[in-house]
Chains A and B, each alone.
Chain A
Amino acid sequence: MTTPASTTMLFGRPFGIVRLLDGRITQRLDLRALVVTLALVTIALAVSLFALASGEFAVPVGEVIGALFGQASPKVHMVVVEWRLPRAALALLLGAALGVSGAIFQSLTRNPLGSPDIIGFNAGSYTGALIVITLLNGSFYAVAGGALVGGLLTAIVVYGLSWRSGVQGFRLIVVGIGVSAMLTSLNTWLMLRADLKVAMMASIWGSGSLNGLGLDRLLQVSIVLALVMPFVLLLSRPMRQLELGDDAARAHGVSVERTRLGLMMVGVALTAIATGIAGPIAFVALAAPQIARRLAGSAGVALLPAAAMGALLLAASDVLAQRAFAPSQLPVGIVTVCLGGLYFAWLLMREARRQPR
Chain B
Amino acid sequence: MNKIKPAPSRPSPARIEARAATIGYDRRLIAENLSVAIPDGSFTVIVGPNACGKSTLLRALSRLLRPASGEVLLDGRSIQSYPARDVARKLGLLPQTSLAPDGITVADLVARGRYPHQKFLQQWSKDDEAAVIGAMEATKVTDLSGRLVDELSGGQRQRVWVAMVLAQETPLLLLDEPTTFLDIAHQIELLELLRRLNRDEGKTIVAVLHDLNQACRYATHLIAMREGRVMAEGQPTGIVTAELVEAVFGLPCLVIEDPISHTPLVVPRGAGEVHAIAEKTS
Tell me the chain A residues, 279-338 only, with Cβ under 8 Å from chain B: 293, 297-300
A209 to chain B, nearest CB (A): 34
Contact A255–B103 (Cβ < 8 Å): no
Contact A11–B106 (Cβ < 8 Å): yes
Looking at A137-145, A245-253, A264-272, the stretch in contact with chain B turns out to be A245-253
Contact A300–B107 (Cβ < 8 Å): no
Contact A253–B115 (Cβ < 8 Å): yes
Q: Mark B74-118, 1 if CB is under 8 A from A, else 0.
A: 000000000111111101110111111111111111001101101
Known: A234-B120, A248-B95, A252-B168. A26 touches B125 (CB 8 A): yes
Contact B98–A245 (Cβ < 8 Å): yes
Contact B84–A250 (Cβ < 8 Å): yes
Query: B145: CB under 8 A from chain A?
Result: yes
Closest residue of chain A to B87, judged by CB?
A253
Contact B146–A11 (Cβ < 8 Å): yes
A126 to chain B, nearest CB (A): 31
8 closest pairs, A vs B, by CB?
A12-B146, A11-B107, A299-B104, A300-B101, A253-B88, A28-B124, A247-B95, A251-B93
B112 to chain A, nearest CB (A): 6
Contact A110–B99 (Cβ < 8 Å): yes
List 9 additional contacts besides A17-B124, A247-B59, A293-B103; criterion CB under 8 Å: A11-B108, A24-B121, A26-B124, A165-B26, A237-B123, A247-B95, A251-B95, A252-B168, A253-B88
Q: Which residues of B contact A300 (CB under 8 A)?
A: 101-104
Query: B64: CB under 8 A from chain A?
Result: yes
Contact B122–A24 (Cβ < 8 Å): yes
B98 to chain A, nearest CB (A): 5
Query: A193: CB under 8 A from chain B?
Result: no
Q: How far is the CA of A233 from the CA of B121 in the complex (A)?
A: 11
Q: Give the contact-size bracket for chain B.
A: 35 or more
A-B residue pairs in contact (CB < 8 Å), sample of 18: A11-B105, A11-B108, A12-B105, A12-B145, A19-B125, A24-B121, A27-B124, A243-B99, A243-B101, A244-B112, A247-B93, A248-B95, A248-B98, A250-B63, A250-B64, A255-B84, A299-B103, A299-B108
Q: How far is the CA of A299 from the CA of B115 in the complex (A)?
A: 16
Contact A26–B123 (Cβ < 8 Å): yes
Closest residue of chain A to B168, judged by CB?
A252
Query: A240: CB under 8 A from chain B?
Result: yes
Q: Which residues of A contact B88 (CB under 8 A)?
A: 251-253
Q: Within the complex, which residue of A10, A12, A253, A293 is in contact with B84, where a contact is CB–CB below 8 Å?
A: A253
Query: A134: CB under 8 A from chain B?
Result: no
Query: A241: CB under 8 A from chain B?
Result: yes
Q: Mark A128-149, 1 if CB is under 8 A from B, else 0.
A: 0000000000000000000000
Query: B62: CB under 8 A from chain A?
Result: yes
Closest residue of chain B to A240, judged by CB?
B112
How many chain-A residues does the 8 Å CB contact rule pick out?
A: 36
B113 to chain A, nearest CB (A): 7
Q: Within the complex, which residue of B108, B115, B128 is in contact with A252, where a contact is CB–CB below 8 Å?
A: B115
Q: Which residues of B contact A254 (CB under 8 A)?
A: 84, 115
Q: Which residues of B contact A1 (CB under 8 A)?
A: none
Contact A237–B120 (Cβ < 8 Å): yes
Query: A62: CB under 8 A from chain B?
Result: no
Q: Which residues of B contact A19 (CB under 8 A)?
A: 125
B91 to chain A, nearest CB (A): 8
Q: How far is the CA of A29 from the CA of B106 in the complex (A)?
A: 17
Q: How far is the CA of A293 from the CA of B83 in the complex (A)?
A: 34
Q: How far is the CA of A129 from the CA of B211 in the complex (A)?
A: 61
Q: How far is the CA of A297 from the CA of B93 in the complex (A)?
A: 28
Query: A350: CB under 8 A from chain B?
Result: no
Q: How far is the CA of A247 from the CA of B104 in the complex (A)?
A: 19
B127 to chain A, nearest CB (A): 9
Q: Which residues of B contact A197 (CB under 8 A)?
A: none
Q: Which residues of B contact A12 (CB under 8 A)?
A: 105, 107, 145-146
Contact A23–B122 (Cβ < 8 Å): yes
Contact B116–A253 (Cβ < 8 Å): yes
Closest residue of chain A to B146, judged by CB?
A12
Tell me the chain B residues, 28-69 only, with Cβ under 8 Å from chain A: 59, 62-64
Q: How far is the CA of A19 from the CA of B121 in the complex (A)?
A: 10
